[in-house]
Structure 1
């Protein structure tokens, strides 16, 4: 599969810096990613679309383990390059392709068995819009994968919600309410794999060593002050708020 020329789109540079050593850009662990692939009962040759594919770990490992083919779309040239290297490393570059472009509005020319947006539902303006976008690429009887946060316990105030990097309490739902919302959209929830606090630790804490190494190598960079402030504040913020209040999961949906 060939790759396309990179258009001039990107995520904010600070995220490229903080997560440059991540293979998975969300709180799911490699073990749980493997659990999800097995739970979906993927068949060899099944075609998967991943909007917001990051560094490509989902498509690459599922191509290796289950023989799927796939296309990943991501705005970050750093992560897209990492995804292409990972495909080469795992020997699946002939089965998966990673395109550097904005996933918002992207529709596959070929209908897919699984259409996924795992942790980037902003591309569709939220869960509802992202599901609608994914259905446009999905074959009849296919599976939609949505990765989305939820409240493990309801924060007592908007200030606590903001400590979790939400804008307000209304940004996320409790897990039962999130599951019920899929039903109201006309979908059955047919599988789910939830992150746990260890997964959150690996996602968040892994940033801190990356940041520290980056600061040592780039003391005069224009972002050094902002990155240093992140390293100073993030461990306490994370332990106080996100780790206690915010859950995260991947939900498999099929139209009723």
Structure 2
């Protein structure tokens, strides 16, 4: 069972692939899109959930999505047609870190994709090249809410505490204009949804050859969350603007 298929099934009931509820997503988009006619880009858009919500809410918006998964982009295309926003959405099957554009974007989204760029600051450096003057970034990444174990670091990657994370972003030339720290409820609901939806799929498809693997992956994920990182991992979203030189 491929990783992309596992992720697709696990996120079926939580299409925003981050620990955020619908109200948090709405407020973040409102702060990132103050005018409503912006030209926006989502790097690592997956099934396009952020873009689809933005396009549905703002009828003058134009959007571009980039993702390495062709199956995820296919789902995004189908959903865009169903919502009647396909004429304002362009999708590219490409590695997000390699994407370039002759036309800059008013807003760039990069939620949970920093690892693909080599870390948060490398993610911001890549985004800066694509941003129009006075533009905004909506970025989401992890941080350590408490001191992690070596196992947690090995499992999730190198993060910093909240104060250090924001300090590094500011020192890199960005001004936070809004932020959201995922609540315990959002974090827990995301993990329960991820493992529970995958496990339910396995139980509902007992004759599928991938069912045993899916059930095992769900159990392992749930155990690692509860045992290794539930009490130490946090998730932060920031709306950022470049510092005025």
Distance 2:152 2:133 in 1: 42
Residue number in structure 2 paired with 1:111: 104
Tell me the CA shift for residue 234 of structure 1: 2.6
Tell me the CA shift for residue 198 of structure 1: 1.8
Tell me the CA shift for residue 50 of structure 1: 0.4
Change in 2 beyond 3 A, CA 1:238/1:220: same
Residue number in structure 1 paired with 2:127: 134
Distance 2:9 2:42 in 1: 22
Q: Could you tell me which of 183, 206, 212 is aligned with 2:170? A: 183
Cα-to-partner distance string for 1:206-240 (whole Å, 9 max, x where unaligned): 2233322432426453x544423222233233233
For residue 81 of structure 2, give the secondary structure of its aligned residue in structure 1.
helix
Change in 2 beyond 3 A, CA 1:37/1:178: same
1:30 corresponds to 2:17 = no
1:76 corresponds to 2:63 = no
Residues 39-78 of structure 1 correspond to what in structure 2 (within 5 A)? 39-67=31-59, 68-78=61-71
- The alignment's TM-score, normalised by the length of structure 1, stands at 0.84
Tell me the CA shift for residue 177 of structure 1: 0.6
The list of structure 1 runs, each at least 4 consecutive aligned residues, that deviate by more than 4 angstroms after superposition, is 10-13
For residue 64 of structure 1, give the secondary structure of its aligned residue in structure 2.
helix
Gaps of at least 5 residues in structure 1 are 1-9
For residue 179 of structure 1, give the secondary structure of its aligned residue in structure 2.
helix
How many residues are matched?
Answer: 240
For residue 44 of structure 1, give the secondary structure of its aligned residue in structure 2.
coil
For residue 94 of structure 1, give the secondary structure of its aligned residue in structure 2.
helix
Change in 2 beyond 3 A, CA 1:78/1:213: farther
Residue number in structure 2 paired with 1:3: none
Change in 2 beyond 3 A, CA 1:40/1:231: closer
Distance 2:105 2:72 in 1: 23
Distance 1:201 1:48 in 2: 30
Change in 2 beyond 3 A, CA 1:129/1:244: same
Distance 2:162 2:96 in 1: 26
Q: Could you tell me which of 143, 163, 187 is aligned with 1:200? A: 187
CA RMSD of aligned residues (A): 2.2
Contact 1:20/1:79 (8 A) holds in 2: no
Residue number in structure 2 paired with 1:241: 228
Residues 153-164 of structure 1 correspond to what in structure 2 (within 5 A)? 153-155=146-148, 157-162=149-154
Tell me the CA shift for residue 91 of structure 1: 2.2
Gaps of at least 5 residues in structure 2 are none
